[in-house]
Structure formats: C-alpha cells, structure tokens
Structure 1
Amino acid sequence: MAVEIKSKIVGYRIKQEQAAPVPTLQDENPLTVRIPSRPEGTLEAVSEKISYVGAEGRKKVYLLVSFMPVEGVVEGKRVVIERPVEFFFPSGQLSSEHQWITATMRSLSLAARGGYVTQAVADLRKVAWDKGLVRCGMNRWNKPMFHDSEVAAIAWSIQQILYRRGFLDADGNQVPVEELVERHARRIAHGHAWQPEAGDTAAPAVTETTTDAAPEKKPEGGGPAIVGHCPECRGELIMMDGCPTCYAGCGWSKCG
C-alpha cells in the first residue's frame, strides 16, 4: 500500500527486525537422568579383586563396574559427568545361590541407570546374616573393617570402587554434581582416572589385607573382642559362633 509523503523528509531509519530470544535450556540433573539400557559397544570398566574373611575362612572374589559419560543441564549449561551403569559379579565364586547374586547385580545395574545407585549400595550395607561378622578392608585410620554379612562387605567394596573413581566420597555419600563435572573434565584433560586431591583428608580405604602383615591391635571404638592369637599365622582370634576364629588372614578355627 502506497503512502503519500506531504512533508519534507529530514532523515530516515531502517526498521530492524527484533531478534528472537535465545531459548534457555531446562535444567536436567545428570545424576538422575534415566538411562534406558546399557549402550552397545565398549564401556570403560574397573575390575577389582575383593578379599574378605568370614565364617568359612578367607575368600577372594572379583567384581566389575562399568562407567559411561552422561550429559545433563546445570544452570542452563550443558555438562557431562561419569556415572556407573553396570555391575557384574561372575558366578561360581561363592557357594551361595548364583541366581541371587545375579539378581542383586542386575538390580544394582538398574538402580545405576535409574539414578539412585548411591542409595541402593548404602541399603545393601545394612544386610545382616547369622554367620557372624565379616572382615573386609581397612578404614581411614588403618583399622580393620567388620561387616554384618558377605553382602554388606561386597557393598562396602563397591562404595570404595566408586570413591576411588570420584563418584562418592570416603563415607559413601554422593559427590555434588558440580564436583563431578570438574572431575570428569580434569580426567578427560589428563587422560587418567581421578585421584584424591592433595587437600582431600580422606584417603581411599584398602580392599585387601595381606596375610604376612603384623597382627593389628584391637579396633578402637568397635569390633569384636580379641581372645588370643592364631597358632597358624599368629593373627588375632575373635569369638565366632562360640568358637575362637582367626580374622587376621588364614581363617583358622579351634572348632575346625
């Protein structure tokens, strides 16, 4: 449509089109992003030998945990963290029913892909049995750790794997997502797994004890009472099911 201009033109200006607003990304916590299934192909994994001593003596089992990078949005920015997505415990390592071991690992894998593996592993640490305490690993004060069952000992060992990977802290608590983003970026930049910072006061706990180490003193603030020393390895004896049993390494029992 033509418009007649009847007054003197003193200037002009080109009309600017208003730029469309940049859409902001909706926050999506990468810790809780649901992973539908284990992705195809190769995943980076940690394989660890776990050693513990229980009512049936010393046992050594192998555990595998797979990790993968997971994207999310934090404060409008796309970020990437590393999360565990798969737990695998090869059957045939324990005398327990293999189907229950396999079912537990599958449940842990589902919890990992669902975003609540930290709570699931912590809950497994509460499992108890009637065969006495199970000794597995050392705490940050270099004292032996005692657990209520084999399941609890293995769950604690899983927490230690996730701690050394930087996913949990030394007490098994979830590391904040901001720190996970920084650790993953640092790991990618340096090409190696996360290691505790110089200012990290909690050192990772050891998951294996050596049989030739000097016998430890009675644990402070907890643990069963020491009733003597083992005639086989000179380790400490504690009462298990009414019978003096070695918890230092060899699993010797006075009752056979």
Structure 2
Amino acid sequence: MLKIAKKITGVALVKADEPPVPVPAPTLAPAPPAPVLPDENPLFVRVENRPDEALNAVIEKVTLGTQVGKKKIYVAVSFLEIKGRLNGQAIAIERPIEIFLPAGQTDEDGQWIVATMRSLSLAARGGYLTRALQDLRQVPWTKGPVRCGEKDWGNGKVVPIQHPSEVAAIAYAIQRILCNRGFLDADGNQVPLEVLARHHARQASDETRSDPEQELVAANPSTPSIEAVLEKPVAAGKNTCPQCGGSNIRRIDGCDTCTECGHSKCA
C-alpha cells in the first residue's frame, strides 16, 4: 500500500509508457489588505459619564473685584486622557472633563452656579467646552463690571481686565487654567491637535515640559506670538480706549466703558 505523507495538491493521469507530468503548484489567494482605521479626533470624542477612576485636577484660587469689594473663589477642573487616531497613528491628549465651583462663593443664586458648572462639565465631556466658555465671556449683569486678571500691554502698563459679569469673570478664570495646562492659547482659542498630542506624549514620557504657546507658533509660523500681539501698537479711533488702546468698548449704565482697563468717559 502506498502511503501519502504530504497533502494532495493536484491529480494527473499518465500512462505507464509516458514520462510523469508535473503537477502545477496551487495558486494561493492574495491576503486581504489590513483594514484602515478611520481617524478619530480626540478633541471631539464624547465621554458619556464621569469616569469612576481618580482624575488629575487643578484647583485654583481666583480673585474677583466687584463694586462691593474683592472676593476670592475656588475653581476646580479635572482632566482625563482621551485617545484617538491622527493620520492613521494612535494618539492621546489630555482634555478637561469636569468643572466644579462650590456654591455660596458668589453673589449669584447657588442653584444657578451648580447648573452652570454642570452644563460646562457636559460641554467638556461633549467636546465643545472651548466654545461654551467663549459664550459665557459675553454674559452681562446689572451690577457693574467685574475685575479678574491683568493684562500686560508690553509698555510697562499692566491693567486689570474688566468683565461684564461674575459669570464672565469665572469663565475667564477657567480659560486661564486651561491655558496654563496647555489646552487653550492665551486668547482662549483651541490649541491645534498636533501640538496637544506632542505635549501629552512628552508629559507621559516624563520629559521636560515645553511651552505650548511656543509649539503653537512653531506648528504654524504665520501665527504671531502672544508677545508680538501685545507689542503691536493700536491706533486710537472712535471705538478704541484712549487709555489702553483696547477695542472692547461697552455701554454700561449709560457710559462708554472699556472692559479691558475699566476706563469710563463718565468717571
């Protein structure tokens, strides 16, 4: 009995007086190409619920100057690593995920403070916190401007920044936290995804943390630096402040008031 030790790949019939006919090798089907995963921007990945794990957080004391004096409040922002894909490569960034401000620290009703912070947290988990903060910066109230933060015009003049309400001032304070963390630029705009990914990769590898603003300029040379913007002279005009040159002129209590330095024609 003939024992076949190998797998049969073909069969051919030959006569006893004919030379053997070579059996053609089997044709293997080409391997299917590896699936290409679509890009996923981690800035817009939706986080349905607050993670149960411990989160990195920043708690900052913020000073507000109102018509009745100064007050100090505390704002907490939590961050979470969000993964995605860019140009086919896996990346990760750090994104704000939750914002908390204990009630009872401002003149506003506690329920509205809680509601606003919950809405901001939903915006953070939904990927549109940057826009939400920019909208809150425009919220007015009837109790006069609120001072929070300072602006250095680069000519030796440092003036307090005026906001149209406590809510707007708190939104500015949150923007400053995100700016110091490297998530937003100095004007409250979103830092490009590539810069965020590189910045987070360096943090993860325990390398020296770099200045995200300098990376932003390096990634887009046509973007002026914050220093260049501050040093650029502002021409005085009808809608510019004669004291600091700012263009944010608002009519408050019947008087044209600069929200940058607080200068008022009625003062």
TM-score class, shorter? 0.7 to 0.9
Aligned residues of 2:65 and 2:148 also touching (Cα < 8 A) = yes
Q: Which runs of 5+ in 2 are unaligned?
A: 1-9, 218-224, 228-241, 250-260
Report the secondary structure of 1:87's partner residue.
strand
Partners of 1:43 and 1:91 lie apart in 2 by 21
Q: How many residues align?
A: 218
Matches within 5 A, 1:80-91: 80-91=92-103
**TM norm structure 1:** 0.75
Match of 2:151 among 139, 152, 159: 139
Give the C-alpha shift of residue 140 in structure 1.
4.4
2:110 paired residue number? 98
Aligned residues of 2:62 and 2:74 also touching (Cα < 8 A) = yes
Partners of 1:2 and 1:223 lie apart in 2 by 88
Partners of 2:91 and 2:132 lie apart in 1 by 25
Give the C-alpha shift of residue 3 in structure 1.
2.7
Match of 1:173 among 189, 202, 221: 189
What amino acid does structure 2 have at the position aligned with 1:114?
Answer: G
1:3 paired residue number? 12
2:5 paired residue number? none
Give the C-alpha shift of residue 95 in structure 1.
3.1
**TM norm structure 2:** 0.72
Cα RMSD over matched residues?
Answer: 2.9
Report the secondary structure of 1:67's partner residue.
strand
Matches within 5 A, 1:54-203: 54-141=66-153, 142-190=158-206, 195-196=211-212, 201-202=225-226
Give the C-alpha shift of residue 70 in structure 1.
0.3
What do residues 178-212 of structure 1 show as CA deviations (whole Å, max 9, x unaligned)? 11111110111226766445576437xxxxxxxxx
Partners of 1:168 and 1:79 lie apart in 2 by 18
Partners of 1:119 and 1:153 lie apart in 2 by 16
User: For structure 1, which segment, 1-10 or 145-154, has the greater mean C-alpha deviation from structure 2 after superposition?
Assistant: 1-10
- Residue 47 and residue 56 in structure 1: after superposition, are their counterparts in 2 closer, same or farther (change >3 A)? same
Partners of 1:96 and 1:177 lie apart in 2 by 36
Partners of 2:19 and 2:168 lie apart in 1 by 90
- Residue 202 and residue 109 in structure 1: after superposition, are their counterparts in 2 closer, same or farther (change >3 A)? same
What amino acid does structure 2 have at the position aligned with 1:119?
Answer: R
Aligned residues of 1:65 and 1:86 also touching (Cα < 8 A) = yes
Aligned residues of 1:144 and 1:219 also touching (Cα < 8 A) = no
- Residue 237 and residue 172 in structure 1: after superposition, are their counterparts in 2 closer, same or farther (change >3 A)? closer
Matches within 5 A, 1:167-246: 167-190=183-206, 195-196=211-212, 201-202=225-226, 218-221=243-246
Give the C-alpha shift of residue 4 in structure 1.
2.4
How many percent identity over aligned positions?
46
Give the C-alpha shift of residue 91 in structure 1.
1.4
Aligned residues of 2:179 and 2:185 also touching (Cα < 8 A) = yes
What amino acid does structure 1 have at the position aligned with 2:116?
Answer: T
Give the C-alpha shift of residue 220 in structure 1.
3.5
Report the secondary structure of 1:61's partner residue.
strand
What amino acid does structure 1 have at the position aligned with 2:98?
Answer: E
Partners of 2:103 and 2:197 lie apart in 1 by 35
Matches within 5 A, 1:2-21: 2-4=11-13, 13=25, 15-21=27-33
Give the C-alpha shift of residue 13 in structure 1.
4.9
